[in-house]
C-alpha cells in the first residue's frame, strides 16, 4: 500500500447554472447512465427505475416492473449490457435495452458491473464482494478480494488487468483476471468511481475535493485537487489522457490537461450527480438525485436539463419474476444455543405458490445448513436456524449468509434473496 501525496492547481472559468425543474421522466434518484449512441441512453436508479430513450431524451420508456434499486449499468457495445443492484440483482440485455432477462448470482447488494467482452465480466459490491463470469453472466465464480470493505466501482482494461475501489479509500488491483486481488491503498474517505484510459493512466473519485491519480497502473496514487469551491467528486470519465469530466455534489467539472487543472462547467445547487458518461468528446450525459438528467453536445460548454416525458413500459423481460420477500433474521446477531431450541428466525412471504430452497452458507460459499426445501403456497412463513451445521455441530462464531431461492411453478424461473447473519461466541 502506498501513501497519497497531493498536488494542487486551480483553474477558474465561467460556469453554467442549471436550474432543476420538475418536468422530467422520474423523480427517483438516478445512480448510473450508459450512453449507447447520440440518441439512445439508459439510466438506472431507485424504485426499480430503468429508463430508455431512443430520441435523445424527449421520450422515455420504463423497461422493468420492479421495486429494486438499480445501482450500475454497463454495455460492451450498443446491444449487450448488464445492470446490478439491490439484493444482488443482475439483469442482462442483448438488444440495446429493449428487453432484460434476470440472471442468477448469489450476492449481497451489488454496486458495480463491468464487462470486457460478451462473455467475461465482473460484479462488485458490499462486504468486498467480487464475482467473475466467463459465460456472459449465465454462471459466476466468487473471487477473494482480500477486503471486507464495500466496493463501489470496478474497471478493467482487458481480461487480465483491472481495479476496484470502495469504502475506506480501498483501491484493489489484479493482473490475472481477479484470481488474485492486491490492496494498493486504504484510507479514511470513500472512493466512488474509478476510470482507466489505458493500462497505466487512471483516476479515482473521492468523497472529498480531490481525485486520486496514477500513471503507473495503480501501483502508486497521488491526490489532485479539483476546484476551489469544494465540489465533491463522485464520478469520473475521460475520453483521452487529457480530456475528462467529473460529476458530484454541486455540478460538473472538466479538465483538458489530464486533471492538473479543472474548471466548473455546470452548477446545480439542489442535487447530487452520481454518474457521468460520454459517447465521444462532444456528447455526454449526467444523472443524479431527484431524477435529474443533464446532457451536452459540445463537450460540456453548455449543459441542458432533459425534461422528456415517460411514455410507458416499452417491453417487459420474458418472464416477470415472482414477487417474494425475505426479512432479516431475528435476533441478529445471535448465539448458538446449547440445547436443541431455535436460535434465530427468518420470515418470508410468497405472492403465489413456488418451490422454496433456503440454506445457510459460510463466507467461503460452503453450505452449512438447509432450512427449507419444499413447495409452499402463497402466504407468510417462518424458518428457524439453531446455529448448527449439517452434522448438528455448533458452527464457529462469524458471518454467515442465508440464501432463499424460489422456483416459479409455471415458468421454472429461479430468483433469490439473501441476508447476512452474525453468530456470536
* Nearest C-alpha neighbor of 210 from the set 165, 246, 256: 246
How far apart CA 53 and CA 308 sit, in angstroms, is 9
pLDDT tens digit string along 39-72? Answer: 999 999 998 899 999 999 999 998 887 778 999 9
pTM of the model: 0.71
pLDDT category of residue 11 using cuts at 50, 70 and 90 = very low
Strand partners, 325: 349
* Nearest C-alpha neighbor of 371 from the set 381, 390, 353, 358: 358
Q: What is the pLDDT of residue 96?
A: 95
Q: What is the pLDDT of residue 323?
A: 64
194 within 8 A of 165, measured Cβ to Cβ: yes
How far apart CA 370 and CA 76 sit, in angstroms, is 38
How far apart CA 406 and CA 141 sit, in angstroms, is 21
DSSP secondary structure string for all residues of 200-219: S-EEEEESSSEEEEESSTTS
Report DSSP state, residue 127: G
CATH of region 324-424: 2.60.40.4070
Q: What is the pLDDT of residue 405?
A: 85
Q: What is the pLDDT of residue 23?
A: 63
How far apart CA 348 and CA 425 sit, in angstroms, is 27
Integer CA distances (angstroms), 319 to 46, 166, 322, 350, in order: 21, 34, 9, 17
Strand partners, 125: 110
pLDDT tens digit string along 250-305? Answer: 789 999 998 888 888 987 766 799 999 999 999 999 999 999 999 999 999 999 99
294 within 8 A of 301, measured Cβ to Cβ: no
CATH class of 5-313: mainly beta
CA atoms within 13 A on the CB side of 369: 17
83 within 8 A of 100, measured Cβ to Cβ: yes
DSSP secondary structure string for all residues of 357-391: EEEEEETTS-EEEEEEEEEE-SEEEEEEE-SB-TT
CA atoms within 13 A on the CB side of 282: 4
- The set of cell numbers assigned to 270 is 439542489
Strand partners, 194: 204
How far apart CA 288 and CA 227 sit, in angstroms, is 20
The domain limits of the chain are: 5-313, 324-424
How far apart CA 232 and CA 214 sit, in angstroms, is 19
Cis status of the peptide bond prior to 266, with omega within 30 of 0: no
Q: What is the pLDDT of residue 43?
A: 97
CB atoms within 10 A of CB 19: 9
Q: What is the pLDDT of residue 6?
A: 31
Helix, strand, or coil (residue 383) = strand
Report how many helices (DSSP H) and strands (DSSP E) the chain contains, helices first: 0, 37
Percent helix, strand, coil in the chain (nearest 5)?
Answer: 5, 50, 45
pLDDT tens digit string along 104-118? Answer: 888 889 999 999 999
pLDDT category of residue 12 using cuts at 50, 70 and 90 = very low
- The set of cell numbers assigned to 202 is 487512471
Q: Which residues contact 124 (CB under 8 A, 6 or more apart)?
A: 110, 111, 112, 113, 130, 131, 145, 151, 152, 153, 154, 164, 166
Lowest-pLDDT range, 34-38, 213-217, 227-231? Answer: 227-231
How far apart CA 172 and CA 151 sit, in angstroms, is 9
Amino acid at each position: 500500500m502506498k501513501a497519497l501525496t497531493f498536488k494542487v492547481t486551480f483553474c477558474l472559468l465561467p460556469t453554467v447554472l442549471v436550474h432543476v425543474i420538475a418536468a422530467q421522466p422520474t423523480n427517483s434518484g438516478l445512480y448510473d447512465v450508459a450512453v449507447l449512441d447520440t440518441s439512445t441512453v439508459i439510466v438506472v436508479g431507485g424504485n426499480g427505475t430503468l429508463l430508455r430513450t431512443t430520441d435523445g431524451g424527449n421520450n422515455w420508456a420504463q423497461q422493468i416492473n420492479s421495486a429494486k434499486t438499480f445501482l450500475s449499468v454497463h454495455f460492451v457495445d450498443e446491444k449487450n449490457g448488464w445492470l446490478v443492484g439491490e439484493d444482488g440483482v443482475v439483469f442482462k440485455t442483448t438488444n440495446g435495452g429493449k428487453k432484460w432477462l434476470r440472471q442468477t448470482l448469489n450476492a449481497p447488494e451489488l454496486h458495480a458491473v463491468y464487462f470486457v467482452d460478451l462473455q467475461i465480466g465482473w460484479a462488485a459490491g458490499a462486504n468486498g464482494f467480487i464475482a467473475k463470469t466467463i459465460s456472459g453472466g449465465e454462471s459466476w465464480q466468487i473471487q477473494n478480494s482480500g477486503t471486507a470493505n464495500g466496493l463501489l466501482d470496478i474497471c478493467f482494461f482487458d481480461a487480465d488487468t483491472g481495479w476496484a475501489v470502495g469504502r475506506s479509500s480501498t483501491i484493489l488491483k489484479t493482473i490475472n483476471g481477479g484470481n488474485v486481488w492486491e490492496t494498493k491503498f486504504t484510507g479514511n474517505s470513500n472512493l466512488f468511481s474509478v476510470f482507466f484510459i489505458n493500462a497505466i493512466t487512471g483516476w479515482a473519485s473521492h468523497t472529498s475535493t480531490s481525485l486520486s491519480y496514477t500513471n503507473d497502473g495503480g501501483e502508486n496514487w497521488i491526490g489532485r485537487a479539483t476546484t476551489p469551491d469544494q465540489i465533491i467528486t463522485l464520478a469520473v470519465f475521460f475520453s483521452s489522457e487529457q480530456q475528462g469530466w467529473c460529476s458530484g455534489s454541486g455540478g460538473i467539472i472538466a479538465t483538458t490537461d489530464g486533471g492538473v487543472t479543472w474548471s466548473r462547467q455546470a452548477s446545480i445547487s439542489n442535487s447530487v450527480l452520481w454518474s457521468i458518461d460520454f459517447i465521444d468528446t462532444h456528447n455526454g450525459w449526467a444523472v443524479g438525485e431527484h431524477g435529474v438528467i443533464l446532457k451536452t453536445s459540445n463537450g460540456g460548454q453548455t449543459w441542458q436539463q432533459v425534461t422528456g416525458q415517460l411514455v410507458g413500459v416499452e417491453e417487459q423481460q420474458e418472464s416477470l419474476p415472482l414477487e417474494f420477500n425475505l426479512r432479516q433474521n431475528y435476533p441478529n446477531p445471535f448465539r448458538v444455543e446449547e440445547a436443541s431450541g431455535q436460535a434465530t428466525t427468518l420470515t418470508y412471504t410468497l405472492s403465489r405458490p413456488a418451490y422454496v430452497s433456503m440454506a445457510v452458507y459460510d463466507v467461503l460459499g460452503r453450505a452449512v445448513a438447509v432450512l427449507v426445501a419444499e413447495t409452499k403456497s402463497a402466504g407468510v412463513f417462518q424458518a428457524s436456524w439453531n446455529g448448527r451445521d449439517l452434522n448438528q455441530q455448533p458452527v464457529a462464531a462469524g458471518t454467515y449468509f442465508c440464501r432463499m431461492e424460489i422456483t416459479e411453478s409455471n415458468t421454472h424461473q429461479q430468483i433469490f434473496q439473501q441476508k447476512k447473519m452474525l453468530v456470536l461466541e
